[in-house]
Amino acid sequence: MFKHLAKIRIEFNPMDPRAASALEFLAQCNSRKVRQSNPKCDVIVKRRTDDSPPRVFVQFANGREEMLDGSKLPAQEIRKGILAQAEMMETEQLFRDAGLQWPVIIPNDEVPQAPQN
């Protein structure tokens, strides 16, 4: 999961029951296996005292940033979202390494059309 990440910032109020998924995600980030996969990835924790929802800010190695609402997403969904972005980055890199255009543009006549009712 960390392979394509430069920085993760997790903000939460530890007294807020909505912080459960952010805390679970933080625990996943701090596992030995995950940390060893990219030791250069910074994990920053900001404990808040206000009633702001827990948030996870992710910065990918390519500079792209994303904010995930920890009050609405379980830890597994946060992780899945990051993994999906990482897979997209790997696919993009494969195309670029092969000298192919990215993003791939598929002509309309090659896209199957759904039957119209």
CATH number among 3.40.190.10, 3.40.50.1240, 3.40.30.10, 3.90.1150.10, domain 2-97: 3.40.30.10
Per-residue pLDDT at 3: 83
Q: What percent of the chain stands above pLDDT 90?
A: 61
Per-residue pLDDT at 4: 86
Per-residue pLDDT at 114: 65
Summarised one tens digit per residue, pLDDT across range 26-71 is 999 999 998 898 899 999 999 999 999 999 999 998 899 999 999 9
pLDDT at 116 over 70: no
pLDDT at 117 over 80: no
CA 115 – CA 113 distance, rounded (Å): 6
Per-residue pLDDT at 5: 92
pTM of the model: 0.78
CA 117 – CA 114 distance, rounded (Å): 9
Per-residue pLDDT at 101: 83
Summarised one tens digit per residue, pLDDT across range 72-103 is 999 999 999 999 988 988 888 898 899 988 88
